[in-house]
Structure formats: C-alpha cells, structure tokens
Chains A and B, each alone.
Chain A
Amino acid sequence: MAPPADAQLQLETVRLTALYGRRAVVKDVSILFPAHTVTALIGPSGCGKTTFLRCLNRMHELSEGGWITGRVLLDGEDIYDPAIDAVQLRRRIGMVFQRPTPFPTMSIYDNVAAGLRVNGRRPKAELDAAVESALRRAALWDEVKDRLQRSALALSGGQQQRLCVARALAPEPEVLLLDEPTASLDPAGTQRIEELCHALKTRYTIVIVTHNLQQAARVSDYTAFFYLGDLVELGRTEELFTKPTEERTEAYITGRFG
C-alpha cells in the first residue's frame, strides 16, 4: 500500500532511472518519502538501492559515467533543475556512509563543525552551540564532551559512525540518507544507530539502505524492496513484512533468494 496521500511531502522521486554510461542500474522508480518518516530500502546486493540513494543528494553524478533521467523533488522542487547548485543542495541533505569516514586530520569538534564552516564563517559561540547540539542528537555528547579537541580517530568504530551522524546533522539538513550505516559495527553500535533513527525522525526525513531485514523491520515506517534495479514493492513496513503482495518480495524476506 502506498503512503497516505495527505502526508506532507518532503522528498519524492518521479520515474527515476539511474545509469552508468548506457547501463541502467535503477529503472523507473517512483517513491514518495513523507516528512518525518523512516523509509528502508532493501534488496539483494547489486539491486541498485545504494545507487538510488546516491541519486537523492546528487552523489551519483560524481561517479564515472553516472547520470539520471526522471525527477527528484525536494519540497516540490526538482533538485536536478539546472538552476540548482548540487553543492548547495548537498548541504540540505545529510549522508552517512557504510564505513565511518571521520576526517583524520581534524579533531572531533572540527569534524562536526566541518559542514557548518563550509557554509561561511560564523561566531564561535554559535558554532559551539551547533556542535554540541549535533553531538547530543547523535547521542555522542556525553562520551566526547571532555575531549572535543582530540583526534576523531581515537574514537571506537561505533563512536566514529555516530560522529559522522553528528557531522551530517550539524548543518540542519532536511533529509538524512543512511547507506548501510551499521554494516561495519558490532551489535551494540548497531543498536545505538537504530535508536538514533527513531529519535531523529521527529526532525528529519530518513532514508536508510540496509542488508539487514530485521533492521529494516525495526527502524522503518515504510519499506521499499528493490530487485535488479526495479522497485518491486513499496509499502508500510509491517504490511510488507507480514503480507507482501509480490511473489518476489515474499521470496526475499523469507530468505528463499538474495
């Protein structure tokens, strides 16, 4: 079942096709991401879910040969419109990657402040407040508040990933894209990130790519199942997992392929 039509629109793809050269890896996908919801993208490796995610903040076009057809609407505005500056756009859409990617030469503080500083100078007090607020939202503040000037590499993997979440949150994005954010974390780290998803959706629209079906079931409101570049099924998470309408969805979630 599609999300209710009266939900406030935040992000939407319309017949989005993503290509590398002449090879389409995402085909004609239309999804609506209502504001303040978590949508999980699931599917076997190579099904195009990460590429799809990278289209949402125009990272796909940075890959060799990457281009798209169709539209991606953020608050009704086509982000692929020639008048839109991709660099500016990415400041409105935060992204967290599979592996933690703290900037190794920067302190914890500077890592979180990086996305703010790139947007112009601002008073130190304001920067301090924004950094603290972002670290609090990423549930990392208490662990690092006494060593903000230390290297980000001194943190554990799970802490580094939450630091990356804080870094993505600091510029106050509207949308948060998570690309398998727990793939390299232990169960405790995974749980922290999942709890974050719940806490953060009150303020952000979240799209999460995951290989872990239990994770999708735990954190998301909606789930989209991709297979070979096609969007097979999209629906409320509990419905998609309990009574999928598509044969292939059922086969995948019951572990019969993928």
Chain B
Amino acid sequence: MSARRLRRRFVSGLMTTLVAMLSFVAVLALALILGYLVAKGASSLDWSFFVKNPVPAGQAGGGVANAIVGTVIIVGFAALIGLPIGIGTGLYLAEYGSGRLGWIVRFVADVLNGTPSIVVGIFAWTWLVKPMGHFSALAGSVALAALMVPMIARTTEEMVRLVPHSLREAALALGYPRWRTSLRVVARTALAGILTSCLVGVARIAGETAPLLFTALGNLNFSTSVLQPMQTLSLQVFTYATGPFDEWHRLAWAAALVLMALVLLLSLSARWALRSRHGAAR
C-alpha cells in the first residue's frame, strides 16, 4: 500500500517536472527570439529609421518608412476586405449554420485555414497580378484577406457560440426577429470576443511574407498607390536579410524587431480586449 503510494507520488512529481520543463522550452524560444532581435536590432532604431526611406545600396543610413506605411496600407486593406466577410461568415455559421450548407462552409473554411500561405499567393498572382499586368499592393491585400477570412470566420463562430442560448430565447420571446436577435443581442454580447479574434487575425497576417512576394512584390521607394508594387516590413526583412551588404543586414534586424513589436502589440491588445469582456461579465 505505502510502496504504491510512494510510486504514485514519484510518478506525479516526475511528470510535473517534465511538463514544467517543456513549457520552459516553449517560452524560452520566444524569449530567445525577442532577446536576439533586441540585441541585434535595437541599436539601429533611431528617428531616421522610422521616417527615412531606403537609400541606394552600399550607402549608409536610410530607414524603412516606406515599409512601415506599406504594411499599414496593405494590412489595412486586407482587414477592410477580410474582416466583414470573416465576421459575417462566422455569425452565419454560429446562428444559422446547423444545416448542410453550414457543414460545407465550415469544412471549406477549415481546409482554407490549413492551406499554405504561399499557395494563396500563387492564386492571387494568377487571378489578379497576371490579368492586371503588374504587381500591386491591392493584390497583396486580397491574398492576405483570403488567408484571414477562414481564420476570422471560425474564431468568430466560437465566440458567438459562447453566448448563452437563454439570451437568444429571451430576445425572441420579447418579439425580436431572428436577424435582430443575432445582431443586437448575440453579436453584441460576443463583441469583445469577435474583436479579439479580429486582432489575432490581423496580427497573424501582418507578418506574412510568402503571399506578398507574388503580389505586392516590394518597392524600395516610398509609394502609397495600392495599384503599384508596395513594400512591407516582412518583404523588407526578406530583401535586406538575403542581400549582400552589412548595412542591409543591420536594417533587416531592426525591421524584424519593429515587425515583431507590432505583432506583439496586436496580440496584447487582443488579450486586453478579452480580459475587459470577462471583467464586464462580472
């Protein structure tokens, strides 16, 4: 009896130590990446890095203003296209998606979710870049939106499903039409959750590079025209890091740090939005 108990305690302790170590490894990866980025990139972060455009290869100085603005524009347009479609689909799946059509939509969304982003890029290239005859920021936004929609749809669905059924019934019993119940009561109750899923979705696509290689292409000059090639931070990192100049490598580290900080900020705001919802629901 007591030997068995001893053995049980031993195994329990061993397992606890093991999972603690594994979680430490997982956290360590993030800490190492962040630490290395800061060590390599922080020294290059100065005012001119944020406000200046790239200078010709081989020269010192210059910044990534074009890439920062480009990231905001491309991701912004992607969100503009992707969020309404994603949220609408998620609402549909949660509220009306119990039938066959819902099953199909859900299945398609799951398959799209697992599609490598480079494949999406190739499709955007085939359908937008080729017919238009040139690379464009808009094609990049469409590719990113396509990546975002299934993700947003599924997370929105999960968030909307968390709203208790009793609330729906209460609204319906008051004489709310079904659509109004979905929008005014259910979606509004799930708003913080939906917002969170949007932020996570945006954060997830902000760092995408592969689909942009075929679409937005990159641009060493400052451009705000969505019909022309445009630079993003991720493309800038790719270009600079694979280039031959030490100056470029230095800037690549700094750009990577900025991108990482951006994504981290989005994730943190997502956390915060979710927290404030739980705060409101006592």
A95 at the interface (CB under 8 A from B): yes
Whether the Cβ atoms of A151 and B175 lie closer than 8 Å is: no
Cβ-based interface call for B170 (8 A) = yes
User: Using an 8 Å CB-CB cutoff, how does the interface string of A104-140 with B read, 1 for contact, 0 for none?
Assistant: 1100000000110011000000000000000000000
Are A91 and B175 in contact, CB atoms less than 8 angstroms apart? Answer: yes
Interface CB pairs A-B, < 8 A, 11: A87-B176, A90-B172, A90-B173, A101-B167, A101-B169, A103-B167, A104-B189, A105-B185, A167-B174, A168-B173, A168-B174
Q: Tell me whether B3 is interfacial, beta carbon within 8 Å.
A: no
A213 located at the interface, meaning its Cβ lies under 8 Å from any Cβ of chain B in the complex? no
Known: A59-B169, A97-B170. A104 touches B281 (CB 8 A): yes
Q: How far is the CB of B260 from chain A (nearest CB, A)?
A: 34
Please measure, in the bound complex, the distance between the C-alpha atom of A91 and the C-alpha atom of B171, giving whole angstroms. Answer: 11
Q: Which residues of A contact B172 (CB under 8 A)?
A: 59, 62, 90
B29 is an interface residue with CB less than 8 A from chain A: no
**Among B166, B177, B281, which residue has its beta carbon within 8 angstroms of that of A101?**
B166
- When distances are taken between beta carbons in the complex, the residues of chain A under 8 Å from B171 are 103, 114
- Chain A interface size range: 20 to 34
* A88 interface residue per 8 A CB criterion: yes
Contact of B170 among A101, A151, A153 (CB under 8 A): A101
Quote the shortest CB–CB distance from A175 to chain B (angstroms). Answer: 12
Contacts across chains A and B counted by CB atoms under 8 Å:
66
Chain B residues with Cβ under 8 A from A153's Cβ? 280-282
Closest to B163 in A: A104
**Is A164's CB under 8 angstroms from B170's CB?**
yes
**Chain B, interface SS category:** helix
Within 8 A of B (CB), among A74-107: 87-91, 94-95, 97, 99, 101, 103-105
How far, in angstroms, from A167 to B173 measured CA to CA in the complex? Answer: 11
Instruction: Report chain A residues within 8 Å CB of B185.
Output: 103, 105
Q: Which residues of A contact B (CB under 8 A)?
A: 57, 59, 62, 87-91, 94-95, 97, 99, 101, 103-105, 114-115, 118-119, 151, 153-154, 164, 167-168, 171
* Residues of A with C-beta under 8 A to B7: none
List which B141-176 residues lie within 8 A (CB) of chain A. Answer: 164, 166-167, 169-176
Distance in angstroms from B253 CB to nearest chain A CB is 45
Q: Which 6 A-B pairs have the closest CB atoms?
A: A91-B175, A101-B170, A95-B173, A90-B175, A115-B174, A105-B188
B191 within 8 A of A: yes
Additional A-B contacts beyond A97-B169, A104-B280, A118-B174 (7; CB < 8 A): A87-B176, A97-B173, A101-B169, A104-B189, A104-B281, A114-B174, A118-B175
Q: How far is the CA of A121 from the CA of B185 in the complex (A)?
A: 18
Distance between Cα atoms of A90 and B166 in the complex (Å):
16
By the criterion CB–CB under 8 Å, are A151 and B166 in contact?
A: no
Contact between A151 and B280, CB atoms less than 8 A apart: yes
Q: In whole angstroms, how far apart are the Cα atoms of A118 and B185 in the complex?
A: 12
Task: Please report which residues of chain B, range 225-282, place their CB below 8 angstroms from some CB of chain A when the two chains form the complex.
Answer: 280-282
Is the pair B167, A59 in contact by a Cβ cutoff of 8 Å?
no
